[in-house]
Structure 1
Amino acid sequence: MARRIGSRYTAHQILGRGSAGTVWLGEGPEGPVAIKLLREDLSSDQELVGRFVQERTALLGLEHPHVVSVRDLVVDGNDLALVMDLVRGTDLRTRLDRERRLAPEAAVAIAADVADGLAAAHAAGVVHRDVKPENVLLDMQGPLGPGGSHRALLTDFGVAKLIDTPRRTRASKIIGTPDYLAPEIVEGLPPRAAVDIYALATVLYELLAGFTPFGGGHPGAVLRRHVTETVVPLPGIPDELWQLLVQCLAKAPASRLRASELAARLRELLPLLAGMPPLDVDEPDTEPAEDTSEELSGAAPAAERTVRRRGAVPLVPGAKPSDSNRDTHTSMRVPAPDELAGGAHGTARAPRAAGAPRPGSARNRAVTRRRRLTLAAAATLVTAAAVGTWLATAEDTPPPPRDQKNSAPATP
């Protein structure tokens, strides 16, 4: 059902939902548009409305081929809406859900497009703060790029900053999606441009591997991994690409590249990646809830039971499955230093060859136990066979002749 948005726009149908609001396909004086209508509780917050109005110039002034431009800001009664360019295509999360991972050339081309958009935003003093596949749109009507990739555009610039009001989140809260949060945000430091580089490197890792480097399990565990664990190599990618990822996933913000440098370096790597197929690595999993001792007693193997897969963590309780992976802005408590220090240290769980169990996992421990039992049984059989052979040899061997000297009768 169509609804009026202000005096100039009409919203016709819903394109998607997120925790910040609903995106509609709309019509304006200049043709089709996308209208992001913020939630009613947000639009009724006068302080938030004031912040949007104050940031109007920044929101409307960001023009770049790899940024979804904001055309207008509508404040009308209970409606607070951003009118944006309509991109004929899909978002990167939808493509990942369909394909799981991309060929390296296409993944790097998409990341380079996003880095170009970030470079323009950072030059204008705007930090995105929520770079993730849901906020990357793919233009399906434009020409194909390297590896058959579609032109990528970054959307929702400035929305995280505007919704993150002190009254709404307080100093002990953080905003964002756990899988893509830079360590400095987890530790409560103010977000700078480097947080976008960390998030984009996480997205690129996900495009290559099919999962994020520190995701999976409880959101608090995800946050702890960002601070305490280091990422491990992805098998099968050129070392030049891996070193670039490592630099942009550095814990220290100053160690990361700037967006313009990252875009240039990524494009330099494209010829090296031409024709490479998607990586063949298994997604690490969390521990199954069931006792894996059943696996040794002949029950169904743990690998065949349901396990919780790693990936983006939905944060809004009760969210519908179709909407939960679109959630963007959710308050979370900043972990205390002792909580961060008490977590796992060292290297994050490693990607592995397809079908191989993750080291240290329940499945790996069960396999190890089976291997030890097999080796012990084999050793017992070998020992028994050796003893049997020795006994058989002893029975078939005639006794040695008696010593004549010692056997002679004593002389009277």
Structure 2
Amino acid sequence: MDHRWRVPGYTELEVLGTGGFGHVVLAKHETSGQLVAIKYLHAEFLADPGILDGFRREAHLLHGVRSPHVARLHEFVERPEGAALVMEAVPGVSLRVLLAAEKTLAPESALAILKGSLLGLAAAHAVGVVHRDYKPGNVLVSQAGESKLVDFGLATLDGQAGLAAGSPSYMAPEQWAGLPGLPATDVYAATCVFFQCVTGHRPFEADTTERLRALHQSAPVPLAAVPEPLRALIARGMAKDPRQRPVTADAFVAELEATARVAYGPDWESRGWKRLAAPVAALTALTPLALLATAGTAAAPLTAAAPAGAGIAATTIGKVVIGVLVTAVLAVGGFLVYQQFDDPPRQAALSVDIETTAGTDPALPITYDLQYPRVTGHPDAAVQERINAALRSPADERLRSLREGLSRPDILPDFLSRGETVGVRTTAVVALRTDRLLSVRYDHALDSDFLSHTSWRFPESVTVDLATGRVLGPRDVFREDVLTAQGMATLTERLVARSAQGFCRRVSVSGPGAPASIDTADTPRGGDHVPAADLVFTHAGVDFLVLYSELGCTTAAGQETITLPYAEITDLLRPELLAMLGRGAGVPSSFPAADDGTYTNARFGFTALVPEGYQRQPYTPPGGDGMEFTDPSLGATMTVWGANNTAGHSTADVLAGAAEDIRAEGGQVTAQRVEGELYTISGYRGDGRIFYERGFVGPGSTATLRWVYPRAAKDALDGPVSRTVKTFRAGDLTRPH
């Protein structure tokens, strides 16, 4: 090997590749015997803060992405001598190598590879990470018949601006301009690669970077080179305006599958992978990764402190779990080590597929082609049934209402006399999926000359809580103080500002009508103070599906989808919903907090947010003072207290004591960290309950917040725990109180 420093605990076997900033080696974990890929940063860049920070950022972003379609990060190790990412080793080859050998791929094979890597992008997008460098070299095609995404070195958080960096042949127009990274930016790059797979060349090629930039920004996509059934898919994915592309990789997968089924039949994916098996196996056999054929298809997750005698095979990557990853940053012998710890494994990974019901009505001249999502792999069969019933309901209801309308005595005879058959279509797109929430948009279309009114064609949505199967309504979405006349007026102002047509006016016989409002209470039908529009949650914001006729406007006013970016609506949304969206609690700008209270300790001066409805009782630790807040229905307790630091303990001392107490009662510490006067520690108590503790330590006093709750309540408490931890503030720690 050509470098001096190596990650301890591994025996290096072969060099897999070398690039401008580092090199990758195949290595064996000495304890488990599992094979991994270690990506080392070249030693000369350790003194470059920009490059080193980028390497750290890659580890930080990648640790939160969990998908069988993303090469998994096991560890990030940094010390003065070097820095390295320890990754899953995949028995396969890069798509770049495959294309170099095969030139072009059969459409089914290209679609299969694209689908897998898009699912990897979707997992990244679900936690707010945009890859920004999707290219053939960053897609691995495995012998097991799957594709995996690698190399998040240029990744950014969704909506954050970055340098105009990437691989020029695949960069979206907005990426050339250095605009914020969006999931649609990755969709563009993936489509460019797909174009290359089926045509044998990139969509745009030029002698200079400036010329290439101009082509990506303004030239039409050369669709004539693409097989005809795939042209519409590629045109969508490579739209110049990111708003005209599928907004997420999940949404693009749905369109891909629908296109593939129609063009290549229901077994397109299995045939695609079958055609790839021989060339991938042959190319893999020429690389050191051929060793994985006998060592197992994946390395085991690695932990720094596995219990004595614990079998490494018990936690192999082959099992897929759903859970929040906790990153531990441990100072061990001069190392900085990021490691991943799992929540208790659940039965299976949740999968969402788009299904289609098509046929002909036996009694009426109606044909139908209806899409709807279907969830599988939920650990609770009853919840899964509720979710799927809710997701199918718009398609079923659309067909039922059409049958009912067409059967009317004043419509059916005239319709039958025309000899027309109505074609009803519903298209379903998964707009957003997180661990807790699924938001779906349905677009209903009608093929009929007789039933030509726009009211037969409309969009709607369903957003479902994946933990309970409950459909989320306005009271689950908006703060209570927003569901008022004042709150709806504020929402209307923001929607009007974003509307392409400025909203509409109400119908009036005495002149121009009053401006319309989104408030249902102000519409002709009346009702509560809730939005008179369906809502769709996306990565970019909240889409309001406005039917202007429902607001009391003239029917000619039509429909409009108005998007409010999260920056313009977060203060109106419930904290619980924001947690489900993975966006934190938000800071209200126009309305007072209604769901949480605040506790400030007069003696020690610390402040803590308290979830609504929690019972309180005094808590008096030795030399201190605090309060205990409990929710008996969840079995959850949040305790906050201050204490005098009479012995002058350091932050590390206090953390070590907290860890010792947990272990003494038979518990397990899974993550701990020290940052100046702040420490955090989490894991499982001796009784199996989850604990999370954050504390501030000063020379005079300490301030501590601790959560304890059963594992079964984790999903319900992710939001409250996150909010209270992030907002916990210490008082004056420089003196005793």
TM (norm. structure 2) is 0.33
Contact map agreement 2:70 2:150 (CA 8 A) in 1:
yes
Change (3 A) 1:252 1:236: closer
| Higher normalized contact order (CA 8 Å, seq sep 6+, divided by chain length) | 1
Counterpart Cα distance in 2 of 1:186 and 1:204:
20
Are 1:72 and 2:62 an aligned pair?
no
Contact map agreement 2:70 2:149 (CA 8 A) in 1:
yes
Structure 1 residues 8-407: aligned runs within 5 Å: 8-28=9-29, 29-30=31-32, 31-50=34-53, 52-53=55-56, 56-140=59-143, 142=144, 150-157=145-152, 159-161=153-155, 174-235=164-225, 237-239=227-229, 241-257=230-246, 258-271=248-261, 272-273=263-264
Q: Identity, % of aligned pairs? A: 35
Change (3 A) 1:236 1:204: closer
In structure 1, the residue corresponding to 2:129 is in which secondary structure? coil
Change (3 A) 1:8 1:259: same
Contact map agreement 1:109 1:267 (CA 8 A) in 2:
no
| Residue type of the alignment partner of 2:147 | A
| Residue type of the alignment partner of 1:88 | P
Report how far residue 201 of structure 1 moved: 0.4
Counterpart Cα distance in 1 of 2:132 and 2:26:
25
Report how far residue 175 of structure 1 moved: 1.2
Change (3 A) 1:51 1:154: closer
| Residue type of the alignment partner of 1:129 | R
2:374 aligns with none
Count of residue pairs brought into register by the alignment: 261
Report how far residue 235 of structure 1 moved: 4.4
Report how far residue 55 of structure 1 moved: 6.3
Report how far residue 4 of structure 1 moved: 5.2
Counterpart Cα distance in 2 of 1:131 and 1:154:
8
Contact map agreement 1:44 1:78 (CA 8 A) in 2:
no
Unaligned runs of 5+ residues in structure 1 are: 143-149, 163-169, 279-412
Contact map agreement 1:178 1:215 (CA 8 A) in 2:
no
Moved over 3 A (4+): 1-4, 46-58, 274-278
Counterpart Cα distance in 1 of 2:9 and 2:47:
21
Contact map agreement 2:74 2:88 (CA 8 A) in 1:
yes
| Residue type of the alignment partner of 1:273 | Y
| Residue type of the alignment partner of 1:152 | S
Change (3 A) 1:161 1:44: farther
| Residue type of the alignment partner of 1:203 | V
For residues 297-322 of structure 1, the C-alpha deviation after alignment (integer angstroms, 9 at most, x for no partner) is: xxxxxxxxxxxxxxxxxxxxxxxxxx
Counterpart Cα distance in 1 of 2:113 and 2:91:
16
Report how far residue 51 of structure 1 moved: 5.5
Report how far residue 74 of structure 1 moved: 1.4
Report how far residue 219 of structure 1 moved: 2.2
Report how far residue 236 of structure 1 moved: 6.0
Counterpart Cα distance in 2 of 1:98 and 1:236:
20
Counterpart Cα distance in 1 of 2:264 and 2:100:
23
Counterpart Cα distance in 1 of 2:185 and 2:53:
26
Change (3 A) 1:32 1:225: same
Counterpart Cα distance in 2 of 1:189 and 1:235:
30
Pick the structure with greater CA Rg: 1
Counterpart Cα distance in 2 of 1:54 and 1:220:
29
Counterpart Cα distance in 2 of 1:181 and 1:19:
20
Counterpart Cα distance in 1 of 2:137 and 2:55:
22
Counterpart Cα distance in 2 of 1:130 and 1:55:
12
Report how far residue 254 of structure 1 moved: 1.1
| Residue type of the alignment partner of 1:155 | V
| Residue type of the alignment partner of 2:24 | V
Counterpart Cα distance in 2 of 1:208 and 1:132:
15
- After TM superposition, the structure 1 stretch with the greater mean CA deviation from structure 2, 90-99 or 34-43, is 34-43
TM (norm. structure 1) is 0.58
Q: By percentage of residues, which structure has more helix? A: 1
Change (3 A) 1:201 1:39: same
Contact map agreement 1:93 1:134 (CA 8 A) in 2:
yes
| Residue type of the alignment partner of 1:110 | I
Change (3 A) 1:135 1:251: same
Change (3 A) 1:52 1:188: closer
Counterpart Cα distance in 2 of 1:228 and 1:53:
36
1:307 aligns with none
Change (3 A) 1:52 1:189: same
Report how far residue 259 of structure 1 moved: 0.5
Contact map agreement 1:112 1:264 (CA 8 A) in 2:
no
In structure 1, the residue corresponding to 2:243 is in which secondary structure? helix
| Residue type of the alignment partner of 2:243 | A
In structure 1, the residue corresponding to 2:113 is in which secondary structure? helix
Counterpart Cα distance in 2 of 1:213 and 1:46:
36
